[in-house]
Structure 1
């Protein structure tokens, strides 16, 4: 029993050590590219890439300000790509990204953007599930790109900073056991992501119910009385 547990711990340690080596090898460019890709393909681990790089920044392998800068730049690039895909209208890429975002999320995002506008662009950086739908909707809704870019840049900076600081302080707390720092930082990130996902789904369901109620009311109003 103890031997199996020790083997499992060794395996986990080896996995996270490999993550550390890869992050150190590819550094800031890896963070930028992964985060940028996450803006269009949410399956990519954008936040995880920042956390991993920041853990390494804690022991001096990388620079914390440059990790934050790379994460911010990647987020702006990815979000801007989604914006311009939304602005482009039809096409195979738009249809593919729309399928990734989900019809319910797109409808919810359109309603939320109409009400909250630029503020939602800022907050959307912290909402991984509906983020791409918000950015697509901003592009499709013809929000001025300069306005979008301003609020997206602010959101990207604060989002990258909080992820980097989480990884950095975990790295400092477990400086002698780097793999433990990775486990703790990723666990906290996972718990927060789960909480946000649950809240997002409730919000999307509420927006869908409100939209259906509005359509039903409009249908009744348009039907002449007998």
Structure 2
């Protein structure tokens, strides 16, 4: 019997290694898998490359992971948002590498990884410092930049509902980066608010098919611990 629910966050994060590339879903605080991030801090893996839309805010979630000194390199679109004090302090001190990627390019690099597309050309960033060292090509009347797919060792995502096969639904804007990240990693771990019986989810509402999901932690709304 297939059942991808695991009994604890520690079980879900077992095997995450030092030096791993971690894809972290969310758009600011919305859709960010804070429970799994806290578990990763406790798990102890370090020297991480983190791929996320932003660099966290305040001292919770992704910002707390940065503050713990576990992240060597950050790949994101918006490192500076209101409250991103941890990132700013680490970056100024030279303790954090940064790869800045335009938001649409970031999403497409992740989608390409999940779709088996090794690279693609985009006009975004052409002629700017963001593409220094990258291959460019003139196609028609525009310059295009070659961008490579962005694979992760582990994806940490948040979803609204899951069944035991790993089929996921999302709620509102918390969908954001979570579905594309789910497809782009070798190991995808989801924290979900509701566990649904098999067959209860509307097939038309399933955004992430269970084939992409490896482990699920049930984190009821309002609970502090799974």
Q: Same fold (TM over 0.5)?
A: no
TM-score with structure 1 setting the length:
0.25
Q: Which has the higher strand share?
A: 2
User: Which is richer in helix?
Assistant: 1
